[in-house]
A and B are shown apart, each in its own frame.
Chain A
């Protein structure tokens, strides 16, 4: 009966952040079409404010947790955690991009509406309690990101990045969808709670082989989205080719959302058969850490270096997932927050130094930055130290909790490999710091303009977040703990 489809007011309220962002994104496209160039300057402000409003709505919606739309969505502490995270990432991305787009002479409301649409998709991934909904979330998020990756369409590198991302991304999503079909075939449902119920039921346990195949296919899709080995090959090319603010966004937002879906699928729906997926994640985590870190050692392009470093960081989060415990989930959630703060900050600096046409993205272009712009260099150093995992930064506690969770679950070998990898990683981050402070600026280098207001705000916000996470980690860890208890 049609009447049953009518969502209740409570359901609409739980879904209101996504509704607001969709409306704002659509409005931005109309504004872009009908306003004068002068009025267009306020479009990023509009996008930024609507993200903040949606963030407030997401926090407000968490006061009334529960299912929505026939249990398609599940608004709980876990969903709110990741919703707030991806919206904050979207807001910082807008701060970084305004000046970048102005320099590239490619300002446009479309950019911001695409960011908003992508954030909507990521919110759906975080909230979904249904495999089909996760698929839709991934698609909404990815399609917007494919376009963003090729946003400067006159730039060959942008085109290459967009095309590679699109082809490989669609391929991976097809695997995920095929896995969903297998799950439906074996368990008779695509609802995550339903799948869990079937797997827990000893009376009619589904065939173990069929479940393994289904889970394997879904894992291929998800591991691709978090750029884990062996599905990492797209990440360096795409991260290097895309505009720097978009790379900042791609490396954090979709990844955080993908881990949210990953956690819900592994730690909630497929938790009863965790012996099937723990070995897979164990190998993937080790391979991802090693490949990411050792490939990063040899990079001369800073964007590519951070691309490999982000692969390595996905490996650390996978260590937390392999722990398959509540502490593991908490550690993964904490890791995503601190990873987002330091990575967005680092890419903001790169977007600032790269300037028009991204001519200055080699490591040597950062030489003498410590003299030329001491404050920018100092803040960049904070992010790099946090990426290494030095105490008093968010990166330290992120790694600490991950390895603690791994040790609690008796994953000794995995912890040792992870710690050794952190030591290797220190080399390439420190190299950047050394070049920044100890090498003179190359001859004939043009002066670097002061960072724009947007970049400055983003840098201050990210560095504050990085330091606060490093000094008072319990602020976020407590929220993560409450969120994790919903799925575990």
Chain B
């Protein structure tokens, strides 16, 4: 192991010990009175109505996947737009190919009625 990593290692040990020691010390001095109320959400919005692991319709997944696709589109379009002049025709060609493939997917999703809320 190269010597330069020794401070890092010490730092790792300290970082691990710090919260453990702190919580342990606090547990020694604080009073312990557990209760039902303490398990509830405290100033964190509305109380939970049901279990978070319930089942919900698969349509939401389709919507979220479509969102991701078009979100990624913007992720690539934005840097291209910023460097539009420098990239020139090469950039136009590349983004054109990219958009063409994306539009193909869009046409497919549209014709497969993935955009409709049946």
| A pairs with B | yes
Measuring CB to CB, which residues of chain A are less than 8 angstroms from any residue of chain B?
2-3, 5-6, 22, 26-27, 29-30, 32-34, 207
Q: How far is the CA of A2 from the CA of B100 in the complex (A)?
A: 21
Q: Is the CB of A2 within 8 A of B91?
A: yes
- Which one of B37-45, B48-56, B63-71, B107-115 is at the interface? B107-115
What are some 21 contacts across the A-B interface (CB < 8 A)? A2-B87, A2-B88, A2-B90, A2-B91, A3-B90, A6-B90, A22-B101, A26-B100, A26-B101, A26-B104, A29-B104, A29-B105, A29-B107, A30-B104, A30-B107, A32-B108, A33-B108, A33-B111, A33-B112, A34-B111, A207-B2
Interfacial chain A residues near B87, Cβ < 8 Å: 2
B73 smallest CB distance to A (angstroms):
15
Q: How far is the CA of A26 from the CA of B100 in the complex (A)?
A: 9
| Residues 60-104 of B at the A interface (beta carbon under 8 Å) | 86-88, 90-91, 100-101, 104
A2 smallest CB distance to B (angstroms):
5
Interfacial chain A residues near B111, Cβ < 8 Å: 33-34
Q: Which of B90, B91, B108, B112 has the most CB of A within 10 A?
A: B108
Q: How far is the CA of A26 from the CA of B106 in the complex (A)?
A: 11
B9 smallest CB distance to A (angstroms):
15
Q: Is the CB of B110 within 8 A of A2?
A: no
Interfacial chain A residues near B100, Cβ < 8 Å: 26
Q: Is the CB of B90 within 8 A of A5?
A: yes
Interfacial chain A residues near B108, Cβ < 8 Å: 29-30, 32-33
Interfacial chain B residues near A207, Cβ < 8 Å: 2
Interface residue from B2, B86, B101, B104 paired with A2 (Cβ < 8 Å)? B86
Q: How far is the CA of A2 from the CA of B105 in the complex (A)?
A: 28
Interfacial chain B residues near A33, Cβ < 8 Å: 107-108, 110-112
Q: A-B pairs with the 9 shortest C-beta distances? A: A33-B111, A29-B108, A26-B104, A33-B108, A2-B87, A30-B104, A33-B107, A2-B90, A6-B90
Q: Which of A2, A5, A34 has the most CB of B within 10 A?
A: A2
Measuring CB to CB, which residues of chain B are less than 8 angstroms from any residue of chain A?
2, 86-88, 90-91, 100-101, 104-105, 107-108, 110-112
Q: How far is the CA of A22 from the CA of B88 in the complex (A)?
A: 25
Closest residue to B112 on the A side, CB-wise? A33
Q: How far is the CA of A407 from the CA of B87 in the complex (A)?
A: 56
Closest residue to A32 on the B side, CB-wise? B108
B107 smallest CB distance to A (angstroms):
5
Interfacial chain B residues near A34, Cβ < 8 Å: 107, 111
Q: A26-B101, A27-B104, A34-B111 are in contact. List 6 more A-B contacts (CB 8 A).
A: A2-B86, A5-B90, A22-B101, A29-B104, A33-B108, A33-B112
Q: How far is the CA of A126 from the CA of B2 in the complex (A)?
A: 37
B97 smallest CB distance to A (angstroms):
10
A410 smallest CB distance to B (angstroms):
35
Closest residue to A35 on the B side, CB-wise? B111
Interfacial chain B residues near A5, Cβ < 8 Å: 90
Closest residue to B105 on the A side, CB-wise? A29
Closest residue to B102 on the A side, CB-wise? A26
Interfacial chain A residues near B91, Cβ < 8 Å: 2
Closest residue to B2 on the A side, CB-wise? A207
Interfacial chain A residues near B104, Cβ < 8 Å: 26-27, 29-30
Closest residue to A5 on the B side, CB-wise? B90
Q: Which of A3, A5, A26, A32 has the most CB of B within 10 A?
A: A26
A445 smallest CB distance to B (angstroms):
38
A9 smallest CB distance to B (angstroms):
14
Q: Which of B87, B90, B104 has the most CB of A within 10 A?
A: B104
Interfacial chain B residues near A32, Cβ < 8 Å: 108
Q: How far is the CA of A290 from the CA of B33 in the complex (A)?
A: 59
B112 smallest CB distance to A (angstroms):
7
B93 smallest CB distance to A (angstroms):
9
Interfacial chain B residues near A6, Cβ < 8 Å: 90
B84 smallest CB distance to A (angstroms):
11
Q: How far is the CA of A27 from the CA of B87 in the complex (A)?
A: 28
Interfacial chain B residues near A27, Cβ < 8 Å: 104
Q: How far is the CA of A32 from the CA of B87 in the complex (A)?
A: 35
A299 smallest CB distance to B (angstroms):
34
B16 smallest CB distance to A (angstroms):
22
Q: How far is the CA of A22 from the CA of B98 in the complex (A)?
A: 12
B58 smallest CB distance to A (angstroms):
10
Closest residue to A6 on the B side, CB-wise? B90
